[in-house]
């Protein structure tokens, strides 16, 4: 086999097929190429998600956050309507200003700049006022100044119920409404990644909608129960009491809710919401991974380098203790055995969010901790070693447009004068997850490599 690795999405699986023929590669090059390969794989698999999307940057609580529009919107789908016949006021969206931003309520909403032009020829000297969202915009019309229109702009959130009232010389003059026109060719619902764990489903509603989720823990540790708040907004319909711009629907268990809404014409429509919630919020969760692996061992005995390789099974136990919403303690224990050859890899790590990007759909997590390696062969004896490789993980929610699925990639790396270690993986799934994993440990003339495919399923939760 040629030195180095091919930039292929399944490079880890390739290592399984050719374990016996792998040449030694410098740990620095191997680490670099593997990290690039992981990122390259993610870009290939998610390229369609990011194509033709508008991005923005914001800073919140010390973390850098990026956003992108998840719905393919066109300003042509948002119609401006005046309440009365009008020849003096003109209103239109400014091209290129459509973007998504997070509101104070935690909702990602599309917004655009609205250009308003008031014809001066017919007004002469007057005071024009625009009332919008409890704000007043004023314009003094004293002279033409060589212009036919007095122009100014304001930002309009397209999913909110917008109404602009125009006043001239203290009297209401006209009103401007925004109507969203849905198209069967585009998606109508933006579901924030905060809803991913709760398998939110929206049914019987073909209007534009943005929704986010906020989970609260009720009770004390050991007896905590969920309280899930769904915060949502839709442009054309509102609840029957008409009291709120943003709506909150609360769930305390797995259930569905049907909400009756109406529009300006008095037409009624149902909004269906369904979530899945555990009866109890456990802070400790465990999972088990099993699958076929390749195991290679190399070592020295009586001055001769010996090598043994072959297929075997691998069992990995995973555990996690949630400290806060953005931090946890995690452990894993991976065990593979073939005849008298044994390899065990235990790790304990503190995990915390470094950043969230693309509407929080991608999380970058740091993993800080230590591992304990046990390796035994006939020709190189028994080894117990405490090591401290550090690593990280990238988790992508809703990959390829698949709701509630998760794609993850990560690794641990260390290199020193005494030993070299690499552990990399790619995971994909929903409640059941599929993992491709590669582990390498080298110390002197001793080397062990394991690689294969596992199916990971949840075991039990407690506390």
pLDDT of res. 386: 93
CA atoms within 13 A on the CB side of 40: 13
pLDDT of res. 431: 84
Domain ranges of the chain: 11-47+281-462, 65-69+186-275, 75-180
Tell me, letter by letter, the H, E, C secondary structure of 429-445.
Answer: ECCCEEEEEEEEEEECC
Closest of 328, 218, 253 to residue 283, by C-alpha: 328
DSSP-derived letter for residue 186 is S
The residues near 51 (Cβ < 8 Å, ≥ 6 apart) are: none
Query: Does this model's pTM top 0.75?
Result: no
CA-to-CA dists, residue 438 to 40, 200, 448, angstroms:
17, 34, 11
Say whether pLDDT at 365 is over 60: yes
Say whether pLDDT at 358 is over 80: no
Tell me, letter by letter, the H, E, C secondary structure of 117-153.
Answer: EEECCCCCCEEEEEEECCEEEEEEECCCCCCCEEEEE
pLDDT of res. 77: 86
Average of per-residue pLDDT across 330-334: 96
Q: Which residue has the higher pLDDT, 23 or 369?
A: 369
pLDDT of res. 435: 96
Average of per-residue pLDDT across 211-232: 90
pLDDT of res. 270: 92
CATH number of 75-180: 2.60.40
pLDDT of res. 149: 66
Integer Cα distance of 91 and 254 in angstroms = 46
Distance, C-alpha 100 to centroid of its chain: 15
Say whether pLDDT at 177 is over 90: no
Say whether pLDDT at 372 is over 90: yes
pLDDT of res. 266: 87
pLDDT of res. 458: 92
Q: Which residue has the higher pLDDT, 20 or 168?
A: 168
Average pLDDT along the chain: 79
pLDDT of res. 424: 95
Contact 330, 316 (CB under 8 A): no
pLDDT of res. 51: 35
Taking the CA atoms of 102, 106, 111 and 117 in sequence, report the sign of the dihedral they define.
negative
Integer Cα distance of 413 and 418 in angstroms = 14
Same fold yes or no, 11-47+281-462 and 75-180: no
Say whether pLDDT at 174 is over 70: yes
Average of per-residue pLDDT across 374-390: 88
Closest of 398, 458, 452 to residue 68, by C-alpha: 398
- Domain 11-47+281-462: give its CATH superfamily: OPCA outer membrane adhesin/invasin (2.40.128.100)
Average of per-residue pLDDT across 170-193: 81
Integer Cα distance of 73 and 69 in angstroms = 8
Taking the CA atoms of 264, 269, 275 and 279 in sequence, report the sign of the dihedral they define.
positive
Say whether pLDDT at 164 is over 90: no
Average of per-residue pLDDT across 379-408: 87
């Amino acid at each position: 086999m040629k030195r180095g690795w091919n930039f292929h999405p399944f490079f880890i699986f390739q290592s399984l097929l050719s374990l016996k023929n792998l040449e030694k590669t410098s740990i620095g090059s191997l680490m670099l190429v593997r990290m690039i390969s992981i990122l390259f794989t993610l870009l290939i698999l998610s390229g369609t998600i990011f194509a033709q999307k508008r991005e923005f940057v914001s800073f919140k609580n010390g973390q850098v956050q990026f956003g992108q529009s998840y719905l393919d919107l066109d300003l042509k789908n948002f119609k401006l309507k005046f309440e009365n016949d009008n020849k003096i006021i003109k209103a239109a969206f400014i091209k290129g200003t459509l973007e998504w931003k997070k509101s104070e309520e935690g909702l990602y909403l599309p917004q655009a700049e609205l250009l308003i032009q008031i014809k001066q020829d017919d007004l002469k000297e007057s005071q024009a006022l625009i009332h919008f969202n409890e704000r007043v915009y004023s314009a003094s019309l004293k002279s033409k100044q060589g212009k036919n229109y007095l122009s100014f702009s304001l930002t309009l959130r397209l999913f909110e119920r917008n109404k602009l009232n125009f006043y001239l010389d203290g009297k209401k003059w006209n009103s401007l409404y925004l109507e969203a026109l849905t198209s069967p060719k585009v998606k109508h619902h933006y579901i924030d990644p905060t809803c991913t764990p709760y398998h939110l489903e929206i049914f019987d509603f073909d209007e534009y909608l943005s929704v986010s989720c906020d989970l609260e823990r009720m009770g004390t540790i050991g007896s905590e129960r969920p309280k899930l708040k769904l915060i949502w907004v839709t442009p054309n319909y509102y609840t029957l009491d008409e009291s709120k711009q943003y709506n909150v629907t609360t769930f305390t268990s797995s259930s569905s809710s049907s909400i009756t809404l109406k529009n300006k014409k008095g037409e009624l429509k149902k909004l269906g919401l369904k979530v899945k919630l555990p009866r109890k919020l456990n802070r400790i969760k465990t999972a088990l991974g099993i699958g076929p692996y390749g195991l290679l061992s190399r070592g020295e005995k009586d001055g001769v380098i010996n090598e043994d390789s072959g297929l075997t099974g691998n069992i990995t136990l995973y555990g996690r203790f949630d400290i806060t919403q953005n931090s946890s303690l995690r452990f894993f224990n991976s065990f593979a055995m073939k005849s008298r050859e044994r390899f065990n890899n235990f790790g304990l790590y503190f995990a915390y969010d470094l950043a969230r990007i693309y509407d929080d759909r991608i999380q970058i997590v740091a993993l800080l901790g230590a591992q304990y390696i046990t390796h035994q062969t006939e020709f190189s004896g028994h080894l117990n070693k405490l090591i401290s490789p550090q690593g990280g993980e990238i988790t992508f929610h809703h990959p390829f447009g698949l709701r509630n699925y998760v794609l993850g990639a990560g690794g641990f790396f260390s290199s020193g004068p005494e030993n070299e270690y690499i552990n990399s993986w790619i995971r994909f799934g929903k409640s059941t997850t599929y993992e491709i994993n590669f582990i390498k440990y080298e110390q002197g003339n001793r080397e062990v490599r394991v690689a294969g495919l596992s199916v990971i399923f949840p075991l039990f939760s407690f506390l």
